[in-house]
Structures are given as structure tokens and as C-alpha cells.
């Protein structure tokens, strides 16, 4: 691993939209690397795109980061010694840095118009020149002349002066190893536009240099930007950080993750009912693994064991089924009371099955329901459908057609319901154990299989053939409702 002394990393999203899965994983890796090395995690808002960056989008990103539990040590709402942490508040710094590079001979004013640049490109293409970048027309203009033209109000850009004798740019990448770029293919690229705004490759380097960033962990779609950024670091006289370009996240079809693959933003997953810890766990494993075996990795383990040495250079595949499995593992690990308080009751309120702020039952009832539903739940909202039979009027319960055909319309179902109704009517102790004890003798008495006895009862009470154990199912529904539903189902039974 590269040197991890005094690690400073940053996550620098542009507030041009929601925080998507790829950005969230990048944030997780930066956060985890900082925590594992005892370093500093910085959140910076790269909001220099005036047409798309909005304060509303910034707030969306901050909400997503808080939901993910990725606390930052420096940045918005926290402050720090290297602020401000919004690029729009750092424009003077970029201007000063660019002018310093001009004064030191590492950059120059360029007065070429868009028409001139287009004509030069066409001519180079026609000649089939090996180098078709900027022709460096303004590179050797006398500095005094250039300054006079600027002061006279002539439009200009500022270009970096790539050393003509610069050898290959070798990027030291913690994921990909050494990546070599031919410096001769780099033109003198613009660092300041004619409208007075810095380019991305300049502003991000100025910020990273001033903020003392030691490691840059980001998506490998930025790898092609890196040689230009290295040139800027060298021009500024700043140390070049260690880079770690992580793979793209692809859909199951091998294409870049997009809306056609389903949800892409963090808040969509939050709203779908995923737990923050499970979501962070899953995204962390998209390209990193501590041992090649673990599936459930706690936030604490991630923060102590994460290392760039175990990050894969291969693209990661978004697998919704694995995400569901991991989320289920986290739900199943909760105790019944926590599941009831944090998942079950909030979902019942959200679905308007219970009035907001109120609970219609005793605490023990919710704990019993939690114990019954938790093993059958991989996403929080699933409890609503599973518990719906408990919030439906007896005469409004809808029956699943297939379940009716398979269990109620079969010979013997009426006898099973009659026997069940009789056995349960005299039951005073309405608990799962007592209910099961009352029903257990019926199959032998009727000389029928257990399924042919218990499934008609289940369909009668729930409306379908799927539910938790028969004892819990009936105990939760309540004696009065169970008996009423059994009587109603007899009309459909054979």
C-alpha cells in the first residue's frame, strides 16, 4: 500500500443532480479509507457549473450523505482550516493561482478565437498531422505584449505551458498500478476560460493542492483527466497525490448503470426501504472485499479494515438480488422490539394502516407481529402487505383465487373449517401455543393430511395460502375475527 501517513481524502460531488450509486460508492471508499488510516475525510462541493449547480441539489447530496452515515471531518456545515468548501466561494483563489503561473512562465494568455481554433484543427486533420491539438500559436508571445492586450480588453483564455521536453506522465495508481501517458499527446490545455471561470482540471487541482489531499479516490472515468492534472500539480510546485481510480458500476447487461436498470439515486433506495447500513455494506463490496468470503460487513469493520490493496480494477455488477439478501440479513439480525419500533410500526403508519403517531395495539402484539414477519422480510415495506389481513374488515377480506381453488374448493375443506371453528370457539387462552394445541388433533380426527386442514384455515383468515405459522397468524388476528372469517369462508368451501 502507498504511504498512509496523515491521510487526507476528499469526496467532491457536483450538485447538478441527486447522489447516484457510483458517487455513493466513491464517497464510501473515501470515508472508509480515512477512517481505516486515522486520516481526514473532506466533503467539498464542486459547484462551478452555474447552469446546473443548485443549492437544492447541494441539500439533496448532504441529506444522502447523512443517510449513508458518512460523517465528514471538514466541509459544509462542519467547517475546517482549508475552507471555503464550495468552489464558487474559491474563484479568487483560482484566478490568483492562474495569474501566478503566468507570471512564473508556466502558463500564458491565449487570444485565439473559436474560429481560429476550428480552422487550425481542420488544417491539421487535412494534413493528417500526428499531433492535432492546440497549435501553441500564442505560446511565445512576448509577456509584455500579452499583458498589454489583456489590459486593452482583448478576450483571452489562459493555457498551461506543457514542457516540450516532458517525458511520459506516469500516474501512480493504487488500483491499476503505474499507468503511462505520452506527454507529447498533450496540448497546452486551457485552465481559465474567456468568461473568467476555471476549467475542472485546474480548479480541482488547485483545491486538492491547497487542501493537502494525499489520496484521490474516484471513478476510473476520470483516469483520462489525470495526466493533465499531473501537469498542473507540477506547474504549481505541489506534490502529486496517490491516485486510486475505481471501476465503473455496470448493470446486469454489462452496460453502464442507468435508469433502465432500476433505481440509481441514493434517496430512491432509501425510500424503497433499504437500511443505510445494508446499503453501505453492499456498495462497499462492489469492487472491494476484505477476504473474498464475507458478505455481511459491519460499518465498524469497513472503517477498520478497508484498504486500497483489495480494490478490484474490474467493473462491478449491480445485483439487486444480492442487495436484497444483504438487507434481509440486517433485518433478520435485529431483535423483535427493534424491528417493531424501527421497521414495522413506521411502515404501518406510512401505509396509513394505523393513524400517524398512534398505536392501536399493545406493545406485546407488535413484538409478536415483528417476530412473525421478520424472517419473511427483506425490505421494510413488505411488512405492509403481510400485515394487511390484520387491518381488513372481516367481510371485506379478499381471497386469492388460486388459494381458494387449491384449498377451499377441495373436498374436505368444509369439514376442516367446521372442526377448527368448534375447537377454537371454546378456547380461552388465545396464544399461538394454545391455538396450535387446539388444532393439532384435527388432522388425525378427520383422517386428513395437515396441509388439507391447516391451509383452508389459513386462507379463511388471511385470504391467501402464505403467512407465518398458523398459531401466530390466528393469535394476531384475534379470536372474534378468526371465528367470523372461518364462518364466511365456509360459503366457498367444499
Distance of CA 115 to CAs 55, 118, 127, 155, 170, Å?
A: 36, 5, 18, 13, 34
**Cβ pair 411, 421 in contact under 8 A:** no
Element (H, E) at 280: helix 276-284
Which is the catalytic residue, given 5, 128, 259, 321? 259
Locate the DSSP E strands across 118-248.
157-160, 169-173, 177-181, 190-192, 215-219, 242-246
Residues 456, 469: contact at Cβ < 8 Å?
Answer: no
55: which DSSP letter? H
DSSP letters spanning 352-409: TSS-TT--SS-HHHHHHHHHHHGGG-SSTTHHHHHHGGGGS-GGGPPPPHHHIIIIIS
Grid coordinates representing 347?
411502515
Q: Cis omega before residue 84 (within 30°)?
A: yes
Alpha carbon separation from 229 to 21, 243, 467 (Å, rounded): 25, 11, 59
**CB burial class (10 A; 0-12, 13-18, 19+) of residue 87?**
buried
- Give CA–CA dist 424/149, Å, rounded: 98
Distance CA 169, CA 184 (A): 10
How far CA 14 is from CA of 41, 51, 198, 253, in Å, comes to 17, 12, 15, 28
SS3 label, residue 32:
helix
Separation CA 183–CA 227 (nearest Å)? 8
Active site residue 259: yes
What whole-number distance in Å separates Cα of residue 20 and Cα of residue 264? 5
Taking alpha carbons only, the member of 382, 393, 310 closest to residue 350 is 382
**Measured distance CA(302)–CA(35) in Å, rounded:** 9
Catalytic residue IDs:
259
Amino acid at each position: 500500500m502507498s504511504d498512509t501517513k496523515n491521510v487526507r481524502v476528499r469526496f467532491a460531488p457536483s450538485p447538478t443532480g441527486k447522489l447516484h450509486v457510483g458517487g455513493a460508492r466513491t464517497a464510501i471508499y473515501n470515508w472508509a479509507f480515512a477512517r481505516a488510516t486515522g486520516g481526514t475525510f473532506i466533503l467539498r462541493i464542486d459547484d462551478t457549473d452555474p447552469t446546473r449547480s443548485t443549492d437544492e441539489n447541494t441539500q439533496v447530496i448532504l441529506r444522502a450523505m447523512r443517510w449513508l452515515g458518512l460523517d465528514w471531518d471538514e466541509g459544509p456545515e462542519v467547517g475546517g482550516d482549508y475552507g471555503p468548501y464550495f468552489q464558487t466561494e474559491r474563484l479568487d483563489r483560482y484566478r490568483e493561482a492562474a495569474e501566478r503561473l503566468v507570471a512564473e512562465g508556466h502558463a500564458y494568455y491565449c487570444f485565439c478565437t473559436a474560429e481560429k481554433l476550428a480552422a487550425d484543427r481542420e488544417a491539421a486533420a487535412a494534413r493528417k498531422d500526428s499531433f492535432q491539438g492546440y497549435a501553441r500559436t500564442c505560446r511565445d508571445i512576448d509577456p509584455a505584449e500579452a499583458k498589454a492586450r489583456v489590459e486593452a480588453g482583448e478576450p483571452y483564455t489562459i493555457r498551461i505551458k506543457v514542457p516540450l521536453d516532458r517525458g511520459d506522465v506516469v500516474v501512480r495508481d493504487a488500483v491499476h498500478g503505474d499507468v503511462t501517458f505520452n506527454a507529447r499527446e498533450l496540448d497546452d490545455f486551457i485552465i481559465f476560460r474567456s468568461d473568467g471561470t476555471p476549467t475542472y482540471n485546474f480548479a480541482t487541482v488547485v483545491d486538492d493542492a491547497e487542501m493537502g489531499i494525499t489520496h484521490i479516490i474516484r471513478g476510473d472515468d476520470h483516469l483520462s483527466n489525470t495526466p493533465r492534472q499531473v501537469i498542473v500539480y507540477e506547474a504549481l510546485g505541489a506534490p502529486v497525490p496517490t491516485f486510486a481510480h475505481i471501476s465503473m458500476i455496470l448493470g446486469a447487461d454489462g452496460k453502464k448503470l442507468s435508469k433502465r436498470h432500476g433505481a440509481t439515486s441514493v434517496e430512491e433506495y432509501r425510500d424503497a426501504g433499504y437500511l443505510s447500513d445494508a446499503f453501505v455494506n453492499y456498495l462497499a463490496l462492489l469492487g472491494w472485499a476484505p477476504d473474498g468470503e464475507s458478505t455481511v460487513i459491519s460499518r465498524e469493520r469497513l472503517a477498520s479494515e478497508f484498504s486500497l490493496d483489495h480494490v478490484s480494477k474490474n467493473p462491478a455488477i449491480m445485483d439487486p438480488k444480492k442487495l436484497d439478501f444483504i438487507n434481509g440479513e440486517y433485518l433478520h439480525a435485529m431483535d423483535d422490539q427493534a424491528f417493531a419500533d424501527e421497521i414495522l410500526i413506521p411502515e404501518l403508519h406510512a401505509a396509513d394502516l394505523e393513524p400517524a403517531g398512534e398505536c392501536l395495539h399493545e406493545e406485546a402484539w407488535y413484538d409478536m407481529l415483528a417476530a412473525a414477519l421478520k424472517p419473511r422480510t427483506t425490505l421494510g415495506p413488505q411488512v405492509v402487505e403481510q400485515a394487511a389481513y390484520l387491518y381488513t374488515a372481516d367481510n371485506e377480506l379478499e381471497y386469492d383465487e388460486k388459494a381458494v381453488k387449491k384449498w377451499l374448493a377441495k373436498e374436505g375443506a368444509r369439514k376442516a373449517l367446521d372442526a377448527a371453528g368448534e375447537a377454537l370457539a371454546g378456547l380461552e387462552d388465545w396464544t399461538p401455543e394454545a391455538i396450535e394445541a387446539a388444532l393439532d388433533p384435527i388432522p388425525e380426527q378427520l383422517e386428513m393430511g395437515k396441509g388439507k386442514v391447516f391451509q383452508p384455515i389459513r386462507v379463511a383468515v388471511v385470504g391467501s395460502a402464505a403467512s407465518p405459522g398458523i398459531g401466530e397468524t390466528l393469535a394476531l388476528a384475534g379470536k372474534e375475527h378468526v371465528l367470523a372469517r372461518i364462518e364466511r369462508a365456509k360459503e366457498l368451501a367444499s
